[in-house]
Amino acid sequence: MTFPDLFSIAQIVFADIILSGDNALVIGMAAATLSPELRKKAILWGMGLAAVLRIIFASFATYLIAIPGVLFFGGLLLVWVCWRFYCELRDNIAEQAEHALEAKGYQGSPRKQIWNALVTITIADVSMSIDNVIAVAAIARDNTALLVFGLALAIAFMAFAATTIMHLMTRYPWLSYAGLFFLIYLAGSMLVDGAPQVMQLAGFSGDGQ
């Protein structure tokens, strides 16, 4: 295995860790308003749905990354993810989620509360699953083995380790900031590499015509 492959694997692992933890954080915040019994169900639903969505989007990843311009627009999407992640770090959302999950939760209409939480969790899962798949595909590019490895790892993290990752990100804030800088780097490389395709689609050529 060459050094570039090892470097790509390291990037994929780190991206999966950060994005899975961020996904778990949003699920935790949405479920924190529920009673402890409903909270467990909502978190289980959220983690399971996130894993399933990653499987679904992963099946289209090789086709998705081949679409002209998708790398650039994926980079724009990742820029939004970076901004959202920065806002979470700035507002100390991870620690708030940790405390909220330890609290007794909101005692209101169970059906209404869990429905509202599940809607929030589902929307977050769809968005973050797409983010995760695009990030892995952007790192792996045309290396199918790396792509399969990265997406399988993302699914495993989301299914079995997302809550643990969230707790680690809360306990060690530097991990979250390192993840943010890495996502900024990845978004920048996607924008730079994808820009020529967008210019070509828009009718601009490299000779200035």
In 10 A of CB 109, how many CB atoms? 10
Residue 97 has pLDDT above 70, yes or no: no
Q: What is the 3-state secondary structure (H, E, C) of 51-92?
A: HHHHHHHHCCHHHHHHCCCHHHHHHHHHHHHHHHHHHHHHCC
DSSP 8-state secondary structure symbol assigned to residue 205? -
Q: What is the overall mean pLDDT for the chain?
A: 78
Confidence bin at 165 (pLDDT 50/70/90)? confident
Contacts of 157 (CB under 8 A, 6+ apart): 16, 17, 20, 165
Contacts of 29 (CB under 8 A, 6+ apart): 93, 96, 97, 100
CA–CA gap between residue 115 and residue 135 (Å, rounded): 30
What residues does each domain of the chain span? 3-201
What's the pLDDT at 2? 67
Residue 100 has pLDDT above 60, yes or no: no
Residues 96 and 29 sit within 8 Å (Cβ to Cβ): yes
Most confident of 69-73, 146-150, 159-163: 146-150
